[in-house]
Amino acid sequence: MSAEENKAFLRTWVEEVWNKGDIALADQQIAANYVYHDPQHPLYGPAGFKGLHAMFRGAFPDLHFTIEDMVAEGDKVAWRYKGEGTHKGELQGIPPTGKRAVVTGTLISRIVNGQFVEDWNALDMLGMLQQLGVIPAMG
């Protein structure tokens, strides 16, 4: 796939899987050898991704992602995002707070033959936890 096709693939993925919650696409579009490189949540394969998706969509049922920037070259797409939602379910042992949170992050996705094979994620988890009132704000 071309860099432009990979960008279109990623836009559709964000809209269908994250914003609409269609997790069934993971079986088709996440490679069996997929690796999600994240210091907080390293994951492997479609099952690992589905667990991450369930965790965040369960904690934030109205979760919505906006792609702020996107650059592609070869089989990689780098994208900066904003995710927002209301904390209505448990998140890694944190009971629901009912608070709205906005988190920003950057992902580099590697897409081969119409499947995600690797993602590198860096998100502002500290900022999200501060917005939820779990960790005090600095200063």
Residue 50, H or E segment: helix 45-59
The maximal CA–CA distance of the chain, rounded, in angstroms, is 48
Which residue ranges form the domains of the chain, and what is each CATH number?
3-131 (3.10.450.50)
Average pLDDT over the chain, rounded to an integer: 94
Residue 108: CB atoms within 10 Å: 15
**Given pLDDT bands bounded at 50, 70 and 90, which one contains residue 79?**
very high
| Percent residues over pLDDT 70 in the chain | 100
37-54 pLDDT, tens digit per residue, is 987 778 999 999 999 999
Is the overall model pTM greater than 0.85, yes or no?
yes
Mean predicted confidence (pLDDT) in 59-88 = 97
Closest Cα to residue 58, out of 38, 85, 81? 85
Task: Render 69-112 in DSSP notation, one character per residue.
Answer: EEEEETTEEEEEEEEEEE--S-BTTBPP---EEEEEEEEEEEEE
